[in-house]
Amino acid sequence: MDPEPLKVLAGELPSDVRQILYRHPAEAPAVLREAFGEYAAAAEARIDAAPRVTSSLHATIGEVETPQCLHEIVHGDCFEWLQQRAQDSIHAIVTDPPYGLKEYTSVEKGKLRRGRGGVWRIPPTFDGCTRRPLPRFTVLTEEDKLALKDFFARWALRAYRVLVPGGHVFIATNPLVSHYVYMALIDAGFEKRGEIIRLVQTLRGGDRPKNAHREFGGITVMPRSGWEPWGLFRKPCEGRVQDNLRKWKAGGLRRISQDQPFCDVIRSAPTRGIEREIAPHPSLKPQAFMRQVVRASLPLGEGIVLDPFMGGGSTIAAATAVGYQSIGIESDREFYEIAVAAVPRLAALAPNGDGNGSSWLSRSARDSEQPALFGQ
């Protein structure tokens, strides 16, 4: 690998980040992708034209034949959609909502698409490559916090109504704001069932005090983040879990295999370049991780998975890949169009061939049905 571009970039970075890049050249590209990515506006995306609705009934994923037309993709506001949806008609929600809340307003998305910054941190263009902007979550005012609490309180009540008893919610968050989201879900009636820890190396945190980094060279203001929390919640079951499973097909989580339960720590690499190219959304989650979470969300593999904040469609693609029915809602037309084109192509991607998340499964599980789906 040519180390020169990294050295140039290293000149722009804090010294501890620089050291990581020098000491771990093999991992550096993946870490940089997670931090800066390759986001480009949809108009500029280098994507082959993909059919909006696939006419083929099956796609080959590794050696697994998976039906493709299992999903419904809606352009709209999920609050309105949830309000109109029948009660007790969704079996699981897997979602990654907006957090700064500001970052997905039309004003901020306009700035993002024009490369003007705003709440989005636009990294400098380096070596001719465009890197992925990141929203800034660190500075939330009291007003922002109130808005966040109110947003999730209203959302949680609507989500609760449409989920069947025993239905689970997997909700991506971050350590700075997770408590607001979790309390809103609990106040709406959900039981907290745990947290899934996505172990992923990022460049968030780990900085010395701004403009005083020489004076306080031994200080980090916030820990360098190496994980992403996903809250796990459940609408209470009607009676015993087994009765609820029989009646509603929900209440538990699908095991990885007969001898391996679903685990709450999942090693995950940053989203691969090929996935970002297919679905150029600034917050796209990796298929290798999403397929594991989505698969666990329907204990019997029956029912409907909903992603009300669909973005580029990673949840819906994962559901299609594991053979589940799903519905995705996206309020932004450009992201909606990206998802319509991307979902069949992401779902049909072969398992990761680059070692993404390769070591978390036991030998027995690797020998079972998982490898073809998750790339182990």
Ligand X SMILES: C[S@@+](CC[C@H](N)C(=O)[O-])C[C@H]1O[C@@H](n2cnc3c(N)ncnc32)[C@H](O)[C@@H]1O
- The interface with ligand X within residues 55-94 (CB under 6 A) comprises 77-79
CA 79/CA 159 separation, integer angstroms: 9
Q: Please pick, from the candidates 309, 324, 360, 374, the single residue that binds ligand X as defined by CB under 6 A.
A: 309
Q: In the complex with ligand X, which residue's Cβ is closer, 248 or 324?
A: 324
Q: With CB under 6 A, what is the number of residues at the site for ligand X?
A: 21
CA–CA–CA angle 209, 213, 218 (5° rounding): 90
In whole angstroms, the minimum distance from the beta carbon of 97 to ligand X comes to 6
**In whole angstroms, how far apart are CA 113 and each of 9, 41, 136, 272, 281?**
23, 6, 16, 22, 11
Nearest to 171 by CA among 141, 145, 198, 150: 198
Report the alpha-carbon angle 320-325-331, nearest 5: 85
Dihedrals φ, ψ of 143, to 5°?
-65, -40
Q: Which stretch binds ligand X (CB under 6 A): 58-66, 186-194, 261-269, 305-313?
A: 305-313
60 beta partners:
65
Nearer to ligand X, 248 or 309 (CB): 309
- For residue 133, give the 3-state DSSP assignment: coil
Q: Decide: is 329 part of the binding site for ligand X (CB under 6 A).
A: yes
Position 280 contacts ligand X (CB under 6 A): no
CB 342 within 8 A of CB 317: yes
169 binds ligand X (CB under 6 A): no
283 near ligand X, rule: CB under 6 A: yes
Q: Given the rule CB under 6 A, which of 18-26, 295-303, 328-336, 355-363 is the region that contacts ligand X?
A: 328-336
Q: Rounded to the nearest 5°, which phi and psi values hold at 301?
A: 70, 15
Minimum distance between the CB of residue 162 and ligand X, rounded to whole angstroms? 14
Residue 143 beta carbon to ligand X: minimum distance, rounded to whole angstroms: 18
Binding region for ligand X (CB under 6 A)? 77-79, 96-98, 104, 281, 283-285, 308-309, 311-312, 314, 329-332, 335
